Structure 1
């Protein structure tokens, strides 16, 4: 339905979305990028919904002001790798190395972010491929291919053709969280739904999956704060 600007300092951009399933007008502030969405049920006038948004302007501004600022990755910054905070240190050579509580990044400082991101993606691919292989073998199923993306709306997906997709940022989370997402997507190779049968398969592959699933709900958005300069 487009976008509306609420005047003020600063002006607030509100995306309008009509929904036949919504029962009431609602406002949502994305924890990932701060996008404000006004959902309008069918039969409700746009003007009425905008009045609702204006009434909630103070709440909106409070929510936006409390969002954590992005973190530009560079020397001295603490970055979680496998869920453990690691300090980024510039070092000799051109490779990236993990040593205890530090990530040593070789090369020029102005390209450190790009090299570190490439290293993280490679690490994520190895971990996710290994976990997916193990879970697929346990179920006796096969996946067609594995791709990595920097998705904001989901941590993974499974296509009808058996293609697995994961967010490479899972390598920033604790290993058990990465394993849970791999189990979740591989389980879709058996059950392409979220039925009780599906969750039974997830529990078979990843006993105690509720804890890492809860970790993602509570902490996953913070993994998108890190910016690598590209």
Structure 2
């Protein structure tokens, strides 16, 4: 039978994503790992976020192979889960109850005030949510996103003029996004994207990301020449890169929890 005929007669590959859980014992606890068999997956992947651990398997990988992969990465998994411990995450915001709002590396005290229109603002006492009686959880998510976007644009507007001299041009546009893994990017047309979670972290770390992306206007790569440009403008960039390695997952998790 020819190869073409075998391919035509063979059953079509499954396109259904299959999910179940597998129990794994760590040093201090047992956890459930979400196991996903995904026909689109090309390799075994283990990931962690605020919802827990996830093991993704391509269809060709056996369940035993996936379990061996989990055992081999138990130490890494335990370390990553520490980033999402409840004592490192502020509790979810509940309308009417005092809370804490992540902003610029701090947890700002937050209070609620009855009002006709929804508004979130910073004052000398911390953060205040003006909250209508008919407001909904969707109202809160919209309010938080608008607030964080305004705070992010204020920071960029304060820093950007300092770094424009010596660049061939300014970014054509700055877009604020919720990014899964990156902190920023620069498109070939000169438009810049920044992760909204940046404003939750330390301002100097946010400023480093801005400088990093601006330097791509000079060097569209990560060559030694690129890092030289970053070093000239932001000598402490290594410390901020380390900050994201230790705190980046938690910042992104906090933003997802809020929005």
- Please say whether Structure 1 and Structure 2 have the same fold, judged by a TM-score greater than 0.5: yes
Structure 1 residue 36 and structure 2 residue 54: aligned?
A: yes
CA distance in 2, matches of 1:51, 1:180: 39
Measured on the aligned residues, the alpha-carbon RMSD in Å equals 3.4
2:179 to 130, 134, 151: 151
Shift of 1:167: 0.9
- TM-score if structure 2 supplies the norm length? 0.69
The answer as to whether partners of 2:36 and 2:57 remain within 8 angstroms in 1 is no
Shift of 1:50: 2.8
2:192 to 152, 164, 168: 164
Shift of 1:61: 8.2
Q: CA distance change for structure 1 residues 57 and 140 in 2, over 3 Å: closer, same or farther?
A: closer
CA distance in 2, matches of 1:32, 1:139: 39
1:91 to 97, 113, 116: 113
Q: Which runs of 4+ in 1 moved over 6 A?
A: 57-61
Q: CA distance change for structure 1 residues 116 and 60 in 2, over 3 Å: closer, same or farther?
A: same
- TM-score if structure 1 supplies the norm length? 0.77
- Which range is displaced more, 1-10 or 122-131? 1-10
> How many aligned positions are there?
219
- Which range is displaced more, 153-162 or 48-57? 48-57
Shift of 1:136: 2.8
Q: Which residue of 2 aligns with 1:50?
A: 66
CA distance in 2, matches of 1:217, 1:61: 15
Q: Report the structure number with the largest CA radius of gyration.
A: 2
Unmatched runs of 5 consecutive residues or more in structure 1: 20-25
Shift of 1:178: 1.1
The answer as to whether partners of 1:29 and 1:60 remain within 8 angstroms in 2 is no
Unmatched runs of 5 consecutive residues or more in structure 2: 1-14, 24-30
CA deviations over 1:58-115 (Å, ceiling 9, x no partner): 7798678653357423442222211122011113554322134621111237444431
The answer as to whether partners of 1:177 and 1:215 remain within 8 angstroms in 2 is yes
- Which range is displaced more, 9-18 or 190-199? 9-18
CA distance in 2, matches of 1:84, 1:11: 31
